[in-house]
Structure 1
Amino acid sequence: MTGFITRHLFLSLLAILLVTPALAGTNLPDTIVLSPTILYQTKRQILQRDPAIRPAYENFINEAKQALDASIESVTLKKKAGPSNDRHDYWSLSPDWWPNPAIKNGLPYVQHPGEANPEASSDIYDRSRLSRMARQATTLALAWYFTGDELYASKSTALIMAWCSDSSTRVNPNMLYAHSRLGVAEGHHTGIIETRDLIRVVDAALILEPSHAWSKSTSRKIKKWFSAYVQWLMHSEFGRREAESRDEHGTWFDAQVAVYALYAEDIDLARTIIRTAERRRIVRQIMPDGSMPYALKQPRSRNATFSTLEAYAILSSVGERLGLDLWNWADPVGPSIRQALDFAAPYLNPKKKWPHGTTGVFNPYRYVPLFRRAALVYKDNRYLDYLNELPKAHGARDNSILFY
């Protein structure tokens, strides 16, 4: 039944569109994290057939075409509901918790710090669905902006509506059952970090606003969902505990609230989050030498360090939209985002040994956008030099060159 509903939703949206692609996005897109200026510049380069970005653009369009054929994702597609018995509740497994080998049914699960249980990324749970939906919705929205092809806008809109607004498929605006520890706890506050993927969905929604697939009614419904989620984040016990975290979880909590509040038009809350981040995050988390002790204590400390920097970049992007410069803010005794970036930057290359504790598997390509953005913000090509240390074959087709 759910599959029929989501297919019907997509076809209904498609039926109202002008099927002939038109030149989309004649104005700057009103994005929050992605730079409107860079996106507009890239669009001009595409129209001019600039060979410098051609490999990356062709790779990107191939990904967009694949996303057109992908299934629409929803939390209601899991085979069984989680602890609440409501399929609309998001449910995920805490990634480093494993079945207990000493007990026949594996319960209660036990923690293996830093070791990812592949069960957590299976479609038993919703984590991978959320990740796929966010990636595909964003790719398709950007493909519409670059090409004007309403097929991309229609599919992206359907994905976002299925996740956030369609009454038969939408997710409930809470994370009570994220990071479940089977036999131990139905959920954990650390699971809130998983909805950072929705930050990309916000930018996708903003990009789509001028398309034929999107409407004022759609905007109201999606903003209503994000407003409800912000209220849960700010007033729930899980939200309070996550906000108190001094590692990447706390920084990502702030980044999410800032983006979602700004999108839902709660400007005062977004501004408060950015202003308090100076003392609450930068001063408390970053040392004068740029190290972040709470990140360095994590089982996968290199990942935690770069992930925290990524969250700082998103907070700083929200600050830009509000006229608040978090990128360059510095405490009188020294701590700043740039110092933390400079501390970690030499170790983006995974071939370089990380001298600050355990590291685990590290994927540097996730953080390529961070370094591209830093090069622009700080007007310092040294950050691009770090990218040049990565395999060049990947760099030529790296999509982030289109967006940052």
Structure 2
Amino acid sequence: MRAPAKPSVCRAEEGYAAAFGGRRTFYLKPDQLLAIKAARDSDPVVAKAYAALIERADVALKRKPGSVMDKTTIPLSGDRHDYLSIAPYWWPDPANPSGPYIRRDGEVNPKRDTRSYDRTAIGRMSSDAETLSLAYYYSGERKYADKAAQVIRTWFLDPATAMNPNATFAQAVPGRENGRAEGVLDTSAFQPVIDAVGLIGPSGALSDAENKALEAWFGRYIDWMLKSPTGREEQAAKNNHGMWFDAQLTHYALFARRPEIARKTVEDFPRRRIAVQFDPSGSLPAELTRTRSFHYSIYALEPAYDVAEIAACLDLDLWNYADDKGRGLRKATDFLSAYRGQPAAWRYKEMRWPAGELDALLTRADWAWGPGRYPRSGEGTLALFYRTDTR
């Protein structure tokens, strides 16, 4: 697998640093961000998005950095530094309110996003780090870099507030499980943080020692992912969870300067994920059984795209890979793109049609396979302003 030439080149664990003034990013590409920055004042659509970005960043400037110490529930370990959340689709049983929770697929229990747990805090940390770093890059104002560094330092490095590098108690189900393999998905919130660290690099807001400490933290988290029973179970998942595991592992491995782990995961991806989870038609059968089947089909392709981005950093090409039955990212993208603007044609269950999610996916597809391959709305091209989602 050889990756096609690109305007800016990601070079293994150094990312785009050489082509991006020392900014060690892995997803955010110099040519794309430079083009947006150049259009900041002249293009009305870009100007509007930039104003919204700065508005969000100014709110984040005033916000106290979140940490795992903010939750009101103590994990079973007794250590508040351990991350804790509850599974999104599990609810109290009306027939037995004090008994084990029951599953309601696609319906999120609002208790998940309360101060009882860490789910809200990890999402806000990720969003604030991303927003502030982008605001620094596009505006050049040092205050945004300093605040981004504070947000990152509080979550990962400060001994008083830092998260322990594990997700043992993530996505617990009261009355059933103290933590689940699916909880590893929660830490995909760290992916935008890594590129945020790269964007603020030239500011010096994080010292060299702090950058090394962050790499070490992610190295310990990689070890937990690969060696713990929870991590190994999630790695074995044969739906979107397995692909999100690979997306995190490859990204974190390059950041932690352990490229051999990223390379093995990428090389195994066709056999381990595409051959197992992709249908020759382009569908992802495991996602079609969900109450939000179109959403989850997109949601499964997003991490596959992430792995393809990291593969390119290793001079490997997953974007154009197809097996002898035609299974690959391009076929799966074509399958979903055919339903753009045609929700009535989708014959599987879908509670809320995710038009915006499809547009964002096709924006990335257009970057991967060439301009004009996947028509989408103009504002979709501004996805570079934000990568954070609500996983």
Task: Check conservation: 1:243, 1:250, Cα contact below 8 A.
Answer: yes
1:327-338 counterparts in 2 under 5 A? 327-338=319-330
For each residue in 1:106-153, what CA deviation from the matched residue of structure 2 results, as whole angstroms up to 9, or x when unmatched? 322112222211111222111111111101101101111112211100
Which amino acid is 2:270 matched to?
A: E
User: C-alpha root-mean-square deviation of aligned residues, in Å?
Assistant: 2.1
Q: Which residue of 2 aligns with 1:21?
A: none
Equivalent-residue separation in structure 2 for 1:84 and 1:244 (angstroms)? 25
Task: Report the secondary structure of 2:158's partner residue.
Answer: coil
Task: State yes or no: 1:325 paired with 2:317.
Answer: yes
Equivalent position SS for 2:85: strand
Q: Distance in 1 between matches of 2:100 and 2:191?
A: 33
SS of alignment partner, residue 32 of structure 2: helix
8 Å CA contact retained: 1:175, 1:192: yes
Are 1:67 and 2:36 an aligned pair?
A: no
The separation in 1 between residues aligned to 2:134 and 2:301, in whole angstroms, is 24
Name stretches of at least 5 consecutive residues in structure 2 with no aligned partner. Answer: 1-18
Cross-structure match for 1:177: 169
For 1:60-102, what per-residue CA distance to the aligned partner results, in whole angstroms no more than 9, with x for missing partners?
1111111112221101011231222211111111111111222
Q: Which amino acid aligns with 1:400?
A: A
Q: Is the 8 A contact 1:28 1:37 kept in 2?
A: no
Residue 79 of structure 1 pairs with residue 75 of structure 2: no
Give 3-state SS (helix, strand or coil) of 2:34's partner.
helix
Output one character per residue of 1:155-203: Cα deviation in whole Å (capped at 9) or x when no partner. Answer: 1111111111111111111111111110111011011111111111111
Structure 1 residue aligned with 2:27: 33
Cα distance change, pair 26–115 in 1 and its aligned pair in 2 (3 A): closer
3-state SS, counterpart of residue 284 of structure 1: helix
Aligned residue type for 2:383: S
Offset at 1:384? 2.7
> Percent sequence identity over matched residues?
33
Determine the structure 2 residue equivalent to 1:239.
231
Contact 1:30 1:36 in 2 (8 A): no
One-letter amino acid of the counterpart of residue 329, structure 1: Y
Structure 1 partner of 2:348: 357
Matched with 1:373 is 364
Instruction: Go from structure 1 to structure 2 and tell me whether the alpha carbon gap of 1:152 and 1:354 turns closer, same or farther (over 3 Å shift).
Output: farther
TM-score (ref. length: structure 2) = 0.89
| Distance in 1 of aligned mates of 2:371 and 2:205 | 40
Look up the SS of the partner of 1:347 in the other structure.
Answer: coil
Aligned to 1:207: 199
- Asked whether the equivalents of residues 339 and 346 of structure 2 are also in contact (C-alpha less than 8 Å), the reply is no
Equivalent position amino acid for 2:25 in 1: T
Q: State TM-score, norm by structure 1.
A: 0.86
CA contact 2:134–2:385 (8 Å) conserved in 1:
no
Cα offset, 1:222, TM superposition: 0.9
- Tell me, yes or no, if structure 1 residue 400 matches structure 2 residue 383: yes
Counterpart contact for 2:20–2:30, Cα < 8 Å: no
Q: How does 1:283-322 map to 2 (within 5 A)?
A: 283-322=275-314
Give the Å deviation of 1:356. 4.2
- Counterparts of 2:204 and 2:24, CA distance in 1: 16
2:224, 2:66 → 1: CA distance?
Answer: 23
CA contact (8 A) 1:180 1:187 kept: yes
State the shift of 1:287 in Å: 1.3
Number of aligned residues: 369
Q: Is the 8 A contact 1:374 1:383 kept in 2?
A: yes
